[in-house]
């Protein structure tokens, strides 16, 4: 038996459910491979669902790496303020933290998910679970799609591919959308984990887990050439480097790259000058006491002395040139050789995806197949941590349904 629909949405995550909430015309079906919707959405923001950011919209564009300009039409069509207003209409108030992150007032991601599900129901959207898509084909002559699941077959004039990426595969995000896009003759830009911690070779800070550094300089080097630079917060864990600065930078990082971190926000020249001044003022003071007025962990400084094999009892006047240079380098430009990105199981997002060259950024419709739309993480867009990815999912989904609503007749 074949059932006809006007629009079929593949994936009941943030983008797919939001699309279902806003399609105004025709019969709509959502196909979800899991036995329940929004599994990744429930995990977002540590279960509190940081669903957007309250920052200036112009600044949003810079939060999506080099492909951010592609999202300009989507973000200006459905803004962060629109997202806050949308959930307010559905009875979900919001709270904005000092850092601009926006959460549901209850700090429960289930409130966001339930609001989307209830709105889909009011919109008479048919959501079917345990329905993994096996194949999608397109009839060029009659301009309709045939969608096969494990036990059903459907036809539709429109498809919204909103399957997510490959991050958190235990939530069902296993890259299915990329395979579907490839089967429909679309290019997929090489995918990799992003918004992920970084494993480095010979990691020396395992016993300093939990120590963090605010707004420090991070540079990325490849083949002895600096290719990127950023500032952000860095967290030392028991086995790798993490924190927003590392997570956001991970989209650019590859195995065998070198990351250099300035842990004290002083240049090598500034730290050298500070050591000179303190030595002249009191050559008998301990070298490590120079750092007491710098906002940095005492345990971290002790670890740096250990790494550099400098005794903590060394006084300024006894600090030789070699030890001085090692200390300065280890604090101002500490080098880490990248062993790997932590895998998809901990990555918050996926870098790469359906090529932007084949998507109309004003409608999210394929440039190759009429009626095929893309929304959310399946496309080659990934945002920084802080609500940017969920906002992009909403905004791209809204552009797609806007075009579908315009083209469909009742």
Would you say residue 20 has pLDDT above 70?
Answer: yes
Would you say residue 396 has pLDDT above 90?
Answer: yes
Q: Which residue has the tokens 């028991």?
A: 238
Q: Which residues, other chains included, contact 59 with Cβ-Cβ below 8 Å and sequence gap of 6+?
A: none
Spatial CA neighbour of 92 closest among 104, 75, 80 = 104
| Cβ burial 309-342 (10 Å sphere, 16+ → b, else e) | ebeeebbbeebeeebbebbbebbbebebebebbb
Spatial CA neighbour of 406 closest among 20, 23, 10, 28 = 23
> How confident is the model over 247-272, as pLDDT tens digits?
999 989 999 999 999 999 889 999 88
Q: Where are the domains of the chain?
A: 3-193+349-407, 197-342
Q: Which residues, other chains included, contact 114 with Cβ-Cβ below 8 Å and sequence gap of 6+?
A: none
Range from 95-109, 200-214, 306-320 carrying the lowest mean pLDDT: 306-320
pLDDT band at 277 (very low <50, low <70, confident <90, very high): confident
> What percentage of the chain reaches a pLDDT higher than 90?
69
CATH architecture assigned to 3-193+349-407: 3-Layer(bba) Sandwich (3.50)
Would you say residue 111 has pLDDT above 60?
Answer: yes
Mean pLDDT of the chain, nearest integer: 91
Q: Are 267 and 332 in contact (CB under 8 A)?
A: yes
């Amino acid at each position: 038996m074949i059932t006809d629909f006007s629009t079929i949405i593949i994936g009941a995550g943030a983008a797919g459910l939001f699309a279902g909430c806003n399609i105004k015309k025709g019969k709509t079906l959502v196909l979800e491979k899991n036995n329940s919707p929004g599994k990744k959405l429930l995990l977002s923001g540590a279960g509190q669902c940081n669903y957007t950011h309250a920052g200036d919209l112009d600044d949003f564009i810079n939060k999506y790496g080099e492909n951010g300009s592609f999202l300009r039409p989507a973000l200006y069509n459905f803004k962060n303020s629109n997202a806050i207003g949308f959930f307010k209409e559905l009875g979900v108030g919001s709270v904005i933290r000092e850092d601009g992150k926006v959460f549901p007032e209850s700090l429960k991601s289930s409130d966001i998910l339930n609001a989307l599900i209830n709105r889909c129901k009011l919109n008479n959207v048919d959501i079917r679970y345990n329905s993994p898509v096996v194949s999608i084909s397109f009839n060029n002559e009659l301009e309709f799609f045939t969608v096969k699941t494990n036990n059903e077959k459907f036809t539709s004039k429109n498809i919204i591919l909103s399957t997510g990426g490959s991050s958190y595969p235990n939530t069902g995000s296993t890259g299915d959308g990329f395979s579907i896009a490839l089967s429909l003759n679309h290019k997929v830009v090489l995918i990799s984990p992003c918004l992920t911690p970084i494993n480095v070779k010979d990691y020396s800070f395992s016993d300093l887990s939990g120590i963090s550094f605010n707004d420090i300089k991070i540079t990325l080097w490849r083949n002895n050439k600096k290719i990127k630079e950023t500032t952000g917060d860095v967290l030392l864990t028991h086995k790798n480097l993490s924190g927003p600065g590392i997570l956001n930078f991970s989209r650019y990082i590859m195995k065998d790259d070198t990351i250099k971190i300035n842990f004290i926000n002083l240049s090598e020249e500034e730290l050298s000058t500070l050591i000179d001044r303190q030595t002249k003022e009191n050559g008998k003071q301990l070298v490590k006491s120079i750092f007491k007025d710098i906002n940095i962990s005492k345990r971290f400084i002790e670890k740096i002395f250990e790494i550099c094999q400098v005794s903590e009892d060394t006084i300024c006047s006894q600090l030789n040139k070699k030890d001085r240079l090692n200390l300065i380098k280890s604090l101002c430009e500490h080098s880490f050789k990248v062993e790997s990105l932590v895998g998809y199981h901990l990555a918050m997002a996926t870098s790469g995806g359906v090529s932007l060259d084949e998507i109309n950024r004003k409608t999210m419709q394929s440039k190759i197949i009429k009626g095929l739309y893309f929304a959310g993480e399946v496309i080659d867009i990934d945002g920084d941590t802080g609500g940017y990815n969920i906002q992009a999912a909403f905004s791209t989904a809204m552009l797609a349904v806007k075009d579908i609503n315009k083209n469909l007749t009742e």
